[in-house]
Chain A
Amino acid sequence: MKAAVIVFPGSNCDRDLAVAFRAAGFDVDMVWHKDTELPQGVDVVGVPGGFSFGDYLRCGAIAARSPIVAALKAHVEAGGYGIGICNGFQVLLETGLLPGALMRNAGLKFICKPVELSVETTASDFTSGYSAGQTVTYPVAHHDGNYVATPEVVAALEAEDRVAFRYCEDLNGSVGRIAGILSENRRVLGLMPHPERAADPALGTADGAALFAALAKAGVAA
């Protein structure tokens, strides 16, 4: 399995994400935001956390219009895997590859701490390594993680089993305590908490490693 991690000016979780992919057995290439093509044979594209373009205008807005994101869209539209974490989730929403938007946390504070999440579905190649309803701990570090979408979009996400993770307790005002969602074809995951920062026991929790391992396994089977 081959992964590409996009690097924007201001990304700060790109190398953590690469480490987590490599630990799960992926070959990893880093790609620069100005690149117009992904490397040959990439199975999954990771959009990392950070503060791309200084969060100017809106979080993820400028990154979502960068040349490499056009290649990411083509990759996803051809059925490729994509994962956007934290700022990466904001980028995926700004591209329209996932529905909804992320607003300022309801409490207006930047929240940086480990949080408990409930795995809401195991029916995806990201979450198949967990059991349904399992509680996992990933860190969060965000100011704009308050997920909003129209009632119709939220109802569709719930009905189609596309809520991947939910905060066990209200964290930031997100509708339905939604922490992460899947695309219609279940091959794109966007989430605010950081599995890549929880992918090694030395980091305090290795709960996130199962996500990358499940994805690697799905690729081998495919």
Chain B
Amino acid sequence: MKARVHVMLKDGVLDPQGEAVRHALGSLGFEGVNGVRQGKVIELDLAGEDPAAAEAEARKMCEALLANTVIERYEVEIL
């Protein structure tokens, strides 16, 4: 079973890299990009067949390591 974890900076935490990407898009002529937020996608290949258990396990992994919940939020998607 595969799980996909999305880790993003929390709203309100300034994302300097996202801002740099926004400026770069502007300088390439892409107009109307009001904001860019950059995050991470982590794909997990998990043993086991139970989607609910896999999601619970992936959430534990986020809390323990994959996200820094001081500044980041995460979402778990079971594929």
Contacts and interface: CB of A to CB of B under 8 A. Distances in A.
Interface in B64-78: 64-66, 68, 70-71
A63 to B, nearest CB: 12
Interface stretch (A16-24, A38-46, A100-108, A130-138): A100-108
- Secondary structure at the A interface, as helix, strand, loop or mixed, is loop
A104 B70 contact: no
B70 A100 contact: yes
A108 B65 contact: no
A31 interface: no
B71 A103 contact: yes
Contact of A173 (B16, B64, B65): B16
A159 interface: no
B70 A105 contact: no
B13 interface: yes
Contacts of A94: 68
Interface residues of A, number: 20
A31 to B, nearest CB: 22
A107 B23 CA distance: 13
- Secondary structure at the B interface, as helix, strand, loop or mixed, is helix
B27 to A, nearest CB: 15
B25 interface: no
B16 A57 contact: no
Interface string A124-156: 000000000000000000000010110000000
A148 B68 contact: no
Contact of A148 (B64, B66, B71): B71
A58 interface: yes
Contacts of A106: 14, 16
A61 B16 contact: no
Given A57-B65, A65-B65, A101 B16 contact: no
Interface of A: 57-58, 61-62, 65, 93-94, 99-101, 103-108, 146, 148-149, 173
Given A93-B70, A106-B16, 20 more contacts: A57-B65, A62-B65, A65-B64, A65-B65, A94-B68, A100-B70, A101-B70, A103-B13, A103-B14, A103-B16, A103-B71, A104-B16, A104-B17, A106-B14, A108-B17, A148-B14, A148-B71, A149-B70, A173-B14, A173-B16
